């Protein structure tokens, strides 16, 4: 049987799963130092550690938002692992990988701050959607299977896969096969732009919710009696006039651009698209669940759904949007 050393640099196939697992163990065992372990493999091991920790915590605490708490942190760790392994091997700093890791770090810092200010790192805080999902899966045995397989394991694997395009970038860095190019500049500018769009959307959402809450407290009036646009209960201004979830659109797009960096040195599509693709599928489901719950809370949201695109921004906003919804 052919060695799986090369297979570790490609997506592991089910046919070679056992051989690859054995080869991975051999590589870890025989590695004279941490930097000698392929970063793709060391990231996979770190990922399994995070998945195990999340499953343990959510089982012990009954809180299922532990993956949410590391969502913006683990991709930064995986990205830096590629960079630090290369530097520890004596490679000269490469512009491409430095730019990508730097922007991913910026993305992570901003998203972590946004999650923090919303109370996401409160030990008892939990995403309201998990309560609904628990009601859909009332059987405790099935719930624990779901808790392990999807919440802890799958989501952590997804977070690791998002940074796998850096595996190709790392390979080009190690080989010295492709210098930083004009395409890298275009992709870097696009990536920064998307991080800015996501930050703007999150800030607009934050400003709206803060103003709405303050208006209700100050006036003592119920939601329906607040002035526009707060009386709807949900944001329809700014970027939210073009897309119902502009921050989700930006988040999905960010990882497709990260994948595009792997195309510059290889010139070919490769398996590392998988993270961005699975994230797209995840958002298709989670966004629909979010909107289902939002419509139950704010019935007028159904009118907003008919007028504004869910994810892909429209070219022009709807005229008199608030009046048409209200």
Distance set, CA 34 to CA 23, 27, 38, 39, 189 (Å): 16, 11, 9, 9, 33
Q: Are 291 and 228 found together in one domain?
A: yes
- Identify the domain containing residue 22 by its residue range: 1-30
Single residue among 156, 175, 194 that ends a domain in this structure: 175
Asked whether the predicted pLDDT for residue 9 surpasses 70, the reply is: no
pLDDT in tens, 283-299: 999 999 999 999 999 99
Work out how many domains the chain is built from and give that number: 3
Q: Answer yes or no: do 167 and 82 share one domain.
A: yes
Residue 279 has pLDDT above 90, yes or no: yes
- Structure-model confidence comparison of residues 326 and 109, the more confident one: 109
Is the same domain home to 257 and 166? no
Same domain, 198 and 79: no
Helices (H) and strands (E) in the chain, counts: 15, 0
- Cα separation, 123 vs 119, whole angstroms: 9
The pLDDT value given to residue 8: 45
158, 98: one domain: yes
pTM score, whole prediction = 0.91
pLDDT at 17 (0 to 100): 63
221 and 242 share a domain?
yes
Domain match, 197 and 212 both: yes
Distance, in Å, from the CA atom of 326 to the CA atom of 300, rounded to the nearest integer, reads 7
**Are 195 and 293 members of one domain?**
yes
Nearest to 314 by CA among 253, 235, 244, 254: 244
Same domain, 120 and 164: yes
């Amino acid at each position: 049987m052919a060695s799986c050393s090369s297979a570790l640099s490609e997506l592991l196939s089910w046919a070679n799963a056992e051989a690859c697992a054995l080869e991975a163990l051999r590589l870890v065992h025989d590695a004279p130092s941490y930097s000698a372990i392929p970063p793709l493999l060391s990231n996979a091991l770190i990922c399994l550690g995070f998945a195990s920790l999340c499953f343990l915590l959510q089982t012990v605490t009954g809180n299922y938002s532990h993956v949410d708490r590391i969502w913006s942190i683990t991709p930064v760790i995986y990205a830096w692992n590629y960079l630090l392994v290369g530097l520890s091997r004596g490679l000269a700093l490469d512009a491409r990988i430095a730019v990508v890791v730097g922007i991913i770090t910026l993305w992570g810092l901003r998203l972590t701050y946004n999650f923090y200010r919303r109370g996401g790192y409160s030990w008892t805080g939990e995403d309201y959607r998990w309560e609904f999902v628990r009601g859909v899966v009332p059987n405790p045995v099935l719930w624990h299977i779901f808790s392990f397989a999807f919440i802890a394991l799958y989501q952590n694997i997804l977070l690791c896969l998002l940074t796998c395009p850096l595996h190709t970038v790392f390979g080009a860095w190690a080989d010295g096969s492709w210098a930083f190019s004009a395409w890298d500049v275009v992709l870097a500018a696009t990536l920064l732009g998307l991080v800015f769009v996501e930050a703007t959307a999150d800030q607009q959402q934050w400003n709206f919710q803060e103003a709405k809450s303050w208006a209700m407290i100050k006036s003592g009036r119920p939601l329906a009696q607040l002035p526009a646009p707060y009386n709807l209960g949900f944001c329809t201004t700014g970027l939210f006039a073009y897309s119902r979830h502009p921050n989700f659109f930006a988040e999905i797009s960010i990882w497709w651009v990260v994948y595009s960096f792997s195309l510059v040195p290889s010139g070919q599509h490769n398996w590392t698209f998988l993270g961005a693709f699975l994230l797209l599928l995840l958002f298709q489901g989670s966004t629909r669940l979010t909107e289902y719950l939002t419509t139950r809370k704010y019935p007028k949201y159904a009118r907003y759904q008919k007028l504004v695109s869910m994810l892909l921004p429209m070219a022009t906003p709807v005229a008199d949007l608030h009046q048409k919804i209200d």
